[in-house]
Amino acid sequence: MFAIVRTGGKQYRVAAGDKIAVEKLSGEAGDKVSLTDILLAGEGDKAQDVKGLAVSAEIIAQERGEKVIVFKKRRRHNYRRKQGHRQSLTLLRILAVGPEGKKSEGEKKAAGQAESEGTDETSTDPAGGSTPRGGMLGRWRAGVTAKGDPYGHEKPLWRVITVGFIKWTSIIVGSFLILSLLAVFTIGWTGPPPTFNMAGVAMKGVEVRQKWVDLKDISPHLVRAVIASEDQNFCSHQGFDIKEIQKAMQEAENGGDLRGEDGFLGYDGRPGWDGWDVVEASTAAEVAPALAAGAPDLILLDIRMPRLDGFEAAERIRAGRGPSAGAPIVALTADAGDEERAHAAKAGMDDFITKPIDANRLLQVAARFTERMDPQG
């Protein structure tokens, strides 16, 4: 016969011989208690009248459940409280389900079984007293453990480690994905932040103006131009231009200048070579004052300048009436396409040098237009 009994605000399905853990009841181990709040009773699949029924039980032990951590926090109030709690529980062995005050055959049988299992139910505690074998609620035969395992099984170490690894890996990967998505949406809403290059230029006192555009509005030649600014032969080798590296090393051993912009400017940061007077203009707005100082022998004009590009600057120089109108102009750009060359010729430029700048090539062009074969001459 079974019954649904209510105690401590919870409901339990019990039958003679069952063991349950309920909210604390008064009494000591070995005391008998009677649970009279019966909600449902029956035998097999047939329900019976609960009037006059009671559940007789014996207290096995008074124990405390697993520790629960209670943490409270209030944002922006410096309020944090941490407290632990262990619920007091009573371990019961159900003796019988039947009329109140009557000891049935099931009760006698359950009592006899309890006497025969007495040595298995409890073990001596070194500190004194008796506790359920296996430790508190975790291993007693009622089937309730401190970890909430209804079968009384302990989790293997490998399972604990695996579950913990999967858990924390999921948390880390999920946090990274969430932060990445937030960054993408934030940049899409507010626009890309200033770059380190912009910050460096601004710290020098130069006004930085930039306008972000969509990727679809950027010319497809830009990718080629960016790659060509570093390596014009990028598409013809597997990542390292061995021939050019060997050639540059041979030139350096023979006392030649280093290739690239650093070889042209020098490591001290001062543009030009000995024997050449160089006037530098960082923007197109500085070109006019630089040209007013006198007619230059050669004008090196970068195509990609802020505010005013090299083509328009060349057109303005050619349209002027000063002594600089007839000076030779050499374009510097990373795009060596035919369209770019045609545009440079139309703007009045005399020659074309692609980036990265080769110092030997630049010296040859300068000597040709200034009729000087040696910069020292």
pLDDT value, residue 211: 76
Residues 171-200: what's their mean pLDDT? Answer: 86
Is pLDDT at 184 greater than 90 in this prediction?
no
Looking at the fold, whether 145 and 29 belong to one and the same domain comes out as yes
User: With bands split at pLDDT 50, 70 and 90, how would you rate the model's confidence at 365?
Assistant: confident
Is 227 among the domain residues?
A: no
Q: Is residue 324 included in any domain, yes or no?
A: yes
* Same-domain check for residues 82 and 177: no
Residue 184 lies in a domain: yes
What mean pLDDT do residues 33-61 have? 91
114 domain-assigned: yes
- Last-in-domain residue among 136, 165, 192: 192
Please confirm whether the linkage preceding 356 is cis (ω < 30° from 0): yes
Give dist(CA 131, CA 294) in Å, integer: 104
Query: What is the structure's pLDDT at 6?
Result: 95
Q: Which residues on neighbouring strands pair with residue 84, listed in sequence order? A: 69
203 lies in some domain: no
Q: How many domains does the chain have?
A: 3
User: Per-residue pLDDT for 128 more than 90?
Assistant: no
pLDDT digits (tens, 9 = 90+) for 134-143: 444 444 444 4
Q: Do 251 and 119 lie in a common domain?
A: no
Task: Please give the pLDDT value at position 118.
Answer: 45
Most confident of 23-37, 276-290, 344-358: 23-37
Q: Provide the percentage of residues in the chain whose pLDDT is more than 90.
A: 25
Asked if residue 182 and residue 124 are part of one domain, the reply reads no
More confident residue, 351 or 355: 351
Residue 351's domain is classified under what CATH number? Answer: 3.40.50.2300
Average pLDDT, whole number, for the chain? 75
Q: Based on the domain organization, do 176 and 137 belong to the same domain? A: no
In this predicted structure, the answer to whether residue 153 has a pLDDT above a threshold of 80 is no
CB atoms within 10 A of CB 264: 18
Tokens 């924390």 locate to 168
**Could you tell me if 286 and 184 lie in one domain?**
no
Does 16 share its domain with 133?
yes
Q: Is residue 205 one of the residues assigned to a domain?
A: no
Residue 209 maps to a domain:
no
What is the average per-residue pLDDT within 8-20?
Answer: 94
pLDDT of res. 149: 46
Cα 56 to Cα 99: distance, rounded to the nearest angstrom: 10
Q: Is residue 246 predicted with pLDDT exceeding 60?
A: yes
Average pLDDT over residues 303-307: 71
What is the domain range of residue 294? 234-370
User: Maximum CA pair distance of the chain?
Assistant: 129
**169 and 122 in one domain?**
no
Chosen domain end from 123, 152, 181? 152
18 vs 14: CA distance, rounded Å: 6
pLDDT confidence tier of residue 235, bands split at 50, 70 and 90:
confident
Highest mean pLDDT: which range of 27-31, 305-309, 331-335: 27-31
Asked if the structure places residue 88 within a domain, the reply is yes
Which of 152, 184, 218 is the C-terminal boundary of a domain? 152
256-293: pLDDT as tens digits: 655 544 333 333 333 444 456 777 776 666 766 777 66
Structure confidence by residue, pLDDT tens digits, 69-115: 999 999 888 899 999 999 999 999 999 998 876 554 444 444 444 44
Single-letter amino acid code for the residue at 220: P
Let me know whether 361 and 244 are in one domain: yes
36 lies in the same domain as 86:
yes
Cβ-contact 54, 99 below 8 angstroms: yes
- Is 50 exceeded by the pLDDT of residue 252? yes
Is 331 found in the same domain as 292?
yes
- b (16+ CB within 10 A) / e for 228-249: bbeebeeeeeeeebeeeeeebe
Residues 297 and 351 in one domain: yes
